[in-house]
Chain A
Amino acid sequence: MANLKELSKQTKPLFTGGHRACAGCGAAIVARQVIMTAGPNTVVANATGCLEVVSTIFPYTAWNVPFVHSAFENAAASISGAESLYKAWVRKGKYNKKANFIAFGGDGGTYDIGLQSLSGAMERGHNILYVCYNNEAYMNTGVQRSGATPKGADTSTAPVGKVRKGKEQYRKDLTEIMVAHKIPYVAQSVVGNWRDLTSKVEKALAIEGPKFINVFQPCRLGWSYEPEMTCEMGRMAADTCAWPLYEVVNGQYKITYKPKEKKPIAEWLKLQGRFRHLFRPENKPLLDDIQAVTDKNWEDLLRKESCAAPVAQTKLA
């Protein structure tokens, strides 16, 4: 595995500074760490969203690797097209370089509007890595709820009002949906634990077939916290098990980070403006419910880890 020292030797950044991301933006950190791990022979497809908008304002680009953006809901389909061409060219003897194919999408482009194209590409078995930078709402359009937004969060389309308490539903478990596709590699990682993310990217890219990494990405604007706290917010999400770090390799679960002492989720929630209302006395039952569901999800994950991988896990590609 590449270490920090080695990675820092890259003289020409593949995802450069000078882009227009907010101070403390986690998405830019995800892009930089993923691309520096993947290396220069990488084709990137990006869904419409924060990352695309801040990194490619014409005539500038932050990408020193080949990059394509076409629409919001189709990053997986786009990268599958590029990867298919690669296969055709290799077969025709027109091309002999190694190449990685990586798609980036936010939770909007991945959990919601892009779910169909993601599912299709994963089922078809392309040799691609899809990285979701999951900041738990549609941040690019101004913090609207998404299928990834957690229960109780204040967003502009599920706002806290006189009678409503933010989003009323729990988020969908996209990582599990990807596991259900029986692809060879699925993982959750987080901004703030570079070793976890880069080693997962490295591992994923070494595997033939479709791979998916759901990277939890604190958003200082949408979550409302101080910009210098981004990495800390990510680490706390892992420490409270709000966002467990794990991987599923050919059906076998492995938790890659187990907090020595699982912290109460309130410690993480209270640092974020989007959960401020949860700490009003009348919202105590909601806060308790969030803690109970977090505990249950963590226990489920521990149980899954203890199970042997299904014998007949289909290895794709």
Chain B
Amino acid sequence: MAKSNIVARTGNEAMAEAMRQINPDVVAAYPITPATEIVQIFAGYVADGIVDTEFVPVESEHSAMSACIGSSAAGGRTMTGTSSQGLALMAEMLYIAAGLRLPIVLADVNRALSSPINIHCDHSDTMMVKDAGWVQIFSENAQEAYDNMIQAVRIAESSKLPVVVTTDGFIISHGMERIEILDDKAVKDFVGEYKPENYLLNFDRPITAGALDLTDYYFEHKRQQIEAIKDSKKVILDVAGDFAAKFGRSYGLFEKYRMEDAEVALVAMGSTAGTAKVTVDALREKGVKAGLIKPRVFRPFPKEELADALKGVKAIAVMDRSDSMNAQEGPLCLEIKAALYDKGISKTVLNYVYGLGGREIRLDEIEAVFNDLAAAIKGSKKPAVTYLGVRE
């Protein structure tokens, strides 16, 4: 086991710390609450010569991702960070980064999208770009954010796909936690040296990146990209396996918490999963067979695995911290239902849209969700979607 240190860090500090240890070639970024600190702290590392990264303080998030694309296409290990409107402004370039198969790593601090403008946490920003072709990894706390950032580098470079690692705005980004930081050298060895196959700075073998595909090639190239995101599931697990072997902390596509004999299960991503674990423990004390599934990887969506994990329960509550504005359900619930349907699993699935714009989610609210599930099992009719904690 490599040596490590226990420190107090906010989520933003933890992500910046990971970036320091990764020491990428280029970081191009633009500040936005609540992600500002990540690049601000990193700019401090650059100013002090602690990293030898070229930091590009661009004039917008669109240019941040554009510069990242230029750097990554040129052959460099490249990172950035943003949130909310910043991610939205990047959206065009996120698709292009993925289509060009560039292994850029992005730290996103989840924040609500305007309008109304709001600086607090929900998952609307990350969900808005869920189909952009990026691997999406959610973190429950600062420790996971740190570990995920380090793993993201290898996931990206092995799968030739960009990776976004998210935390929850303010809840994780600004919350101070006890985390375990790895030894600098251990991180350096774990991420290794990036050796791009084809890159702009190789004048011996000039490439044209970003060519125009007409009707005769576009589909084939997109098909390859689709295959890459499917294949990335194995890459994510392999990297997690290596991480666990070296550093002792295990990660999968999702976490199963007290699911072994669970009858009622909650599915929740990000910091809410931490809150839900407390509720699950309390309910277990009372004899309620409650469990939790915490998806870590939303893209690629671990469809079969999640369906298998949920097949033994009697009722499921899916917690969505964003809404799809489809007059239907939240994005996570839709995907869970599709996963169950394809496995022929018919269960009661209730959707709870909660926490928009940073609205707190309380233990008693999560307990009430479990109570709903218990009632639903006994035949009580519950609404398909409940908007939890909102005045209406």
Contact = CB atoms under 8 A, between A and B. Distances in A.
Interface of A: 40-41, 43, 45, 52-53, 56-59, 61, 63-71, 73-74, 76-89, 91-92, 95, 97, 99, 116-117, 119-121, 123-124
Contact of A88 (B52, B58, B66, B217): B52
Given A66-B202, A70-B93, A77-B58, A85 B75 contact: yes
Contacts of B67: 77-78, 80-81, 84
Interface stretch (B141-149, B204-212, B288-296, B300-308): B204-212
Contacts of B26: 81, 84-85, 88
A79 B70 contact: yes
Given A57-B214, A66-B200, A70-B93, A82 B209 contact: no
What are the 3 closest A-B residue pairs judged by CB atoms, nearest first?
A81-B70, A120-B59, A81-B67
B200 A89 contact: no
A85 B74 contact: yes
Contacts of A74: 62-63, 66, 93
A53 B210 CA distance: 10
Contact of B71 (A69, A82, A95): A82
B69 interface: yes
A117 B60 contact: yes
Given A77-B70, A89-B76, A56 B56 contact: no
A77 B201 contact: no
A80 B56 contact: yes
Contact of B208 (A61, A89, A92): A61
Nearest to B53: A88
Interface residues on B, range: 35 or more
Nearest to A97: B203
Contacts of A64: 206
A89 B78 CA distance: 12
Interface string B55-88: 0111110111011111111111010000000000
Given A56-B208, A82-B70, A85-B54, A116 B201 contact: no
Given A68-B210, A70-B93, A82 B63 contact: no
Most A-side CB within 10 Å, residue of B66, B73, B209: B66
Contact of B69 (A40, A81, A92): A81
Contacts of A66: 74, 199-203, 206-209
Contacts of A85: 25-26, 54, 70-71, 74-76, 78, 201
B88 to A, nearest CB: 15
A121 B76 CA distance: 19
B210 A56 contact: yes
Given A68-B69, A74-B62, A81-B74, A40 B212 contact: no
A260 to B, nearest CB: 43
Nearest to A119: B59
B212 A71 contact: no
A199 to B, nearest CB: 24
Nearest to B99: A70
Contacts of A123: 59
B261 to A, nearest CB: 51
Contacts of B182: none
A171 to B, nearest CB: 24
Given A43-B200, A56-B208, A85-B75, A70 B25 contact: no
Given A70-B66, A117-B59, A120-B58, A53 B200 contact: no
B74 A86 contact: yes
Nearest to A42: B203
Interface of B: 25-26, 28, 52-54, 56-60, 62-64, 66-76, 78, 92-93, 96, 100, 199-203, 206-214, 217
Contact of A82 (B59, B73, B212): B73
B28 A58 contact: no
A43 B207 CA distance: 10
B74 A56 contact: no
B62 A73 contact: yes
A74 B100 CA distance: 15
22 contacts: A43-B200, A58-B217, A66-B74, A70-B66, A70-B69, A70-B96, A74-B93, A80-B28, A81-B66, A81-B69, A82-B73, A82-B74, A84-B56, A85-B74, A87-B54, A91-B52, A92-B52, A99-B203, A117-B59, A117-B62, A119-B59, A124-B58
Given A63-B206, A82-B73, A95-B201, 11 more contacts: A43-B200, A67-B208, A68-B73, A69-B212, A71-B96, A78-B67, A84-B71, A89-B201, A92-B25, A99-B203, A121-B63
A63 B53 CA distance: 30
Most B-side CB within 10 Å, residue of A58, A67, A79, A81: A81
A32 to B, nearest CB: 16
A65 B28 contact: no
Contacts of B70: 45, 68, 70, 77-85
Contacts of B64: 77
Contacts of B202: 66
B56 A81 contact: yes
B114 to A, nearest CB: 20
Contacts of A95: 201
A124 B66 CA distance: 15
B69 A78 contact: yes
A71 B92 contact: yes
B62 A41 contact: no
Contacts of B76: 85, 88-89
Nearest to A73: B62
Contacts of B78: 81, 85
A69 B202 CA distance: 17
Nearest to A91: B52
Contact of A68 (B62, B68, B200, B214): B200
B158 to A, nearest CB: 20
Nearest to B205: A66
A88 B54 contact: yes
Contacts of A83: 70
A39 to B, nearest CB: 10
Contacts of B74: 43, 66, 68, 81-82, 85-86
Contacts of B93: 70-71, 74
Contacts of A120: 58-60, 63
A89 B71 CA distance: 11
A79 B67 CA distance: 7
B60 A67 contact: no
